[in-house]
Amino acid sequence: MNERKASLIMVGDIVGPPGLRALFALLPSFAKKHSADLVVANGENAQKGYGIGKEELDIMLSAGVSAITTGNHVWERKDAMELLDGEQALLRPANYPAGLSGKGLLHVKGWAFEWVVINLQGREGLYAIDCPFRTADELVAKARRQHPGAFVIVDFHAESPEEKEALAWHLDGRASVVAGTHTHVPTADERILPKGTGYITDLGMTGPIDSIIGVKTEICVKRSLTQIPYKMETAEGEAFMSGALFHIDPSTMACVGIERFNLRTD
C-alpha cells in the first residue's frame, strides 16, 4: 500500500465572478505545492452569487476541482435540473426528497487514491428536508460496501454549528473528513476527533474581500437598517480563496493533519 499521506483540498463557497477568478488564479499552484490528490469545492454561489451554470462549472473543473458540492442555492437557476442530471462532477445535497435531479454521492479517483464525496444539507435554520444523519448513515454504509478502499469525505452545508459538530461526532471513525460550508465565514476550530475524523465547522468563502459574505456592503447594511429585503448583488474587487488542507493516513483512513488557508490574489 502507498505509504505517503493523501492530501485533500476543500474550498469554501465560491461566490460569483470574483470567487471564480480567485480559484482560477490560486488553486492550480496551491494544489501542486501540496501534492493534492483531490480538490473538492462548493459551487452553489458561483453564478453571480446564486446557483451554478455550465460556464461556472467548466471554470471550476479547468482550475483543478474534481468534485463540486452545493447546497440550498443550487436550485436557483432554471437549468439546474438538467445540469445536475448531466454533469458527473456536480453534486447536490443527498437528503433532499427522492425523485429530484442529481445525486449526493460521488466516487472519484484522485492521482493515487480513491475517494467518495458525500454532500448533505442541514435542517436547522434551513428547510425541513430529510434527516441528514440517517442519510449519512445510509450513504457511508453504501460507500464502504461498494468502495471499501476509498476515503469518505462529507461536505455538510448547514447553518447551525451545533448541527455540524453533531454530524461530525456521529460519523467519527466512519468518515475521514467532515467539513461544513454555507455561512461564508471560516472557523478556527479545525480538529481531529477521537476516532480519526478531521473536522472544521466552516471552510469559509472564496470571493470578494470587501464584501459582506460576498455581497455588496451597501446593500447588506441597507437591509439591516431598514429590514427591507433589497436584492443581493455580488461585490467586486480583490478576492481570496478560503478552505482547508487535510492529510489522511491511507493505512487507517484517519485524518492526521488539518491546515486552514486564506489566500489572496494580490
Q: What is the pLDDT of residues 131-148, one digit of tens each?
A: 999 999 999 999 999 999
The C-alpha cell of 205 is what? 468563502
The C-alpha cell of 77 is what? 437557476
Tell me what pLDDT residue 50 has: 87
Tell me what pLDDT residue 116 has: 98
Cα separation of 125 and 16, whole Å? 24
Which residues fall within 8 angstroms of residue 11, CB to CB, at 6 or more apart? Answer: 23, 27, 39, 40, 41, 42, 65, 203, 206, 241, 242, 243
pLDDT, average across residues 47-55: 91
Entry pTM = 0.94
pLDDT, average across residues 116-128: 95
pLDDT band at 3 (very low <50, low <70, confident <90, very high): low
Tell me what pLDDT residue 76 has: 85
The C-alpha cell of 63 is what? 482550475
Tell me what pLDDT residue 266 has: 66
Instruction: Estimate the crossing angle of helix 132-146 against helix 161-170, to 10 degrees.
Output: 30
Give which of 242, 254, 202, 190 is closest to 11, Cα–Cα.
242
Q: Which residue is catalytic, options 34, 73, 182, 184?
A: 73
* Residue 59: pLDDT over 90: yes
**Tally of domains in the chain:** 1
* Residue 1: pLDDT over 60: no
**Each residue of 16-39: pLDDT tens digit?**
999 999 999 999 999 999 999 999
* Residue 2: pLDDT over 50: no
Which residues fall within 8 angstroms of residue 108, CB to CB, at 6 or more apart? Answer: 38, 66, 67, 89, 114, 115, 116, 117
**Each residue of 39-49: pLDDT tens digit?**
999 999 999 88
The DSSP-derived string for 66-115 is -EEE--GGGGSSTTHHHHHHH-TTB---TTSPTT-SS-SEEEEE-SS-EE
Tell me what pLDDT residue 210 has: 92
Q: Is residue 65 part of a domain?
A: yes
117: enclosing H helix or E strand? strand 114-121
Q: Is residue 222 part of a domain?
A: no
Q: Is residue 75 part of a domain?
A: yes
Q: Is residue 216 part of a domain?
A: no
In three-state secondary structure terms, 119 is strand
Cα separation of 47 and 52, whole Å? 5
**Each residue of 156-184: pLDDT tens digit?**
999 999 999 999 999 999 999 999 999 99
In three-state secondary structure terms, 163 is helix
242 in Cβ contact with 15 (< 8 Å):
no
199 secondary structure, DSSP code: E
Cα separation of 12 and 135, whole Å? 23
pLDDT, average across residues 123-132: 94
Cα separation of 58 and 15, whole Å? 15
Q: Is residue 133 part of a domain?
A: yes
Q: Is residue 48 part of a domain?
A: yes
pLDDT, average across residues 191-197: 98
Tell me what pLDDT residue 80 has: 87
Mean residue pLDDT across the chain:
95
**Each residue of 215-257: pLDDT tens digit?**
899 999 999 999 999 988 899 999 999 999 999 999 999 999 9
**Each residue of 63-87: pLDDT tens digit?**
999 999 999 999 888 888 999 999 9
Known catalytic residue: 107? Answer: no
Q: Is residue 121 part of a domain?
A: yes
Say which CATH number the domain at 101 has. Answer: 3.60.21.10
Q: Is residue 81 part of a domain?
A: yes
CA distances from 169 to 166, 180, 251 (A): 5, 13, 21
Domain that holds residue 97: 6-208+239-264
The C-alpha cell of 241 is what? 480563496
